[in-house]
A = this chain, B = another copy of it.
Amino acid sequence: MCSSTQNMCSNTYCFVKISTVLYICENEKKYTIKDIAALAGVSKGTVDRVLHKRGKVSEEALAKVNRILEDIDYKPNVIARNLKNNKDYHIGVLLPNPDIDNYWKRCKEGILSASQVFMPFNVNVTIVTYDPRSTVSFKKKHQVLLKQNPDAVLLAPLFYKEAKKAISDYKKLNIPVLTFNNQVSPEIADGFVGQDLIQSGRVAAKLLHSMIKTGDITIIHINEDITNALHMQQKEKGFTTYFKELNTSLFKITTLQIEAKKLQTALPEYLNSHPNTKGLFITTSKSYLVAQTLETANFSDISLIGYDLLDLNIDYLKSEIITFLINQNPKQQTYLGITKLAEHLIYQNEIKKKTLLPIDIINSENFSLYIQ
């Protein structure tokens, strides 16, 4: 019951401000289809037909019901709606195998966690894992998932061409697809959940900039495979753009591509020949490899920034060899992804084209709160 001078009603709630007391109160009446049926002088069945646009309703009845629906701003009771639903929904996930690359472990956790939430709504989740080093594996596992005929799909599109093909396969069957981790070219999937990678490069740049007043800074791409090519490029772009915009000659930015195996020898060599190097930015979650090398070869005084809260990375964060990590929020990405798909299936919610997660800055004092 709202009674006040300034009544700013919105939706079914109204916010009323009286002196320093803010009330939020429900609207006086919650209408049900029964009410609507009575108001329109028709039966509940007819109202339902109108609501779901199932046809078989006379012009007259349709107009009358629609008018009332508008008038009262009818909102169906989502709880009752789902009670009846015996439908079993099925969400399929195409995920890089966490046993091959540990980064994906937290993604799996996010998926499991979200699937718990939607259990009572008859949402089943299937994870199909593929080898993140192999496009063949991706294609094969995509076929596996496709055959399961899921109602919605969440996938990490590591391989551009193959992902594009897979998504179009699902779209042909009218199966909504949400991507996470990295975007394939926009507009192909129904939505994306993840981070702005260019911006995350800028965050890294700013961090180094706040620690280093002048000197050489090196971007290191660790190429174990082709997987992260796009990823790494975008981060590099953001990083270099930041320093370009500074428009100063205090910093020299270099990019280095090193294979993981060669790191132990190549990096010390490089650093010895570039003694003015004050900062390193590692574009993948493998910064522990660099930290290891720095430690072994006894380089200190070099600020190191990497990605992701892997156990190994955190160890080096604690021992101050890695200064900052950027958290890509893998768990949250998949949790949100599953949530959005589930809510799409259950409530017919629209899938947002792009959901950008925060870019968390992590140091040795706050990491524990991000891995709960």
Contacts and interface: CB of A to CB of B under 8 A. Distances in A.
Interface stretch (A80-88, A226-234, A291-299): A80-88
Nearest to A369: B358
A195 to B, nearest CB: 8
A80 B203 CA distance: 47
Given A80-B83, A211-B211, A20 B206 contact: no
Interface string A241-262: 0100000000000000000000
Contacts of A21: 127-129, 141, 144
Say which size band chain A's interface belongs to. Answer: 35 or more
Interface of A is mostly: mixed
Interface in A115-138: 115-116, 119-122, 124-131
A206 to B, nearest CB: 4
Interface stretch (A49-57, A60-68, A359-367): A359-367
Nearest to A201: B365
Nearest to A25: B124
Given A20-B131, A356-B369, A358-B370, A364 B206 contact: yes
Interface of A: 11-13, 15, 20-26, 75, 77-80, 82-83, 88, 97, 99, 108, 112, 115-116, 119-122, 124-131, 141, 144, 196, 199, 202-203, 205-207, 210-211, 242, 303, 323-324, 356-366, 369-370
